[in-house]
Amino acid sequence: MPDGKNHEEYVVIKAKENGVTIIGLTRGKDTKFHHSEKLDKGEVMIAQFTEHTSAIKIRGRAEILTKHGKMHTDE
């Protein structure tokens, strides 16, 4: 449930190549991987920061859209 702590923030990730990996990282004392997804070229994932997810790591060529703007991983 949203409580004003960035839980309403979404990130849109569009794969620009096959095999783009998206990894969710946990909150808390130790940062750990808690979820991963693979996208193929053209696939889109909408991710949300939650009480469990404090960071998202993206491997591969992708376009990322946030409320802060659009960015690309290095091509």
Q: Where are the domains of the chain?
A: 10-70
pTM of structure: 0.79
Span 17-67, pLDDT tens digits: 999 999 988 877 777 778 899 999 999 999 888 877 888 899 999 999 999
For residue 71, CA distances in Å to 4, 8, 16, 25, 31 come to 25, 20, 12, 20, 24
Give the right CATH number for 10-70 from 3.40.720.10, 2.60.40.50, 3.40.50.1220, 1.20.58.1290.
2.60.40.50
- The SS3 assignment for 72 reads strand
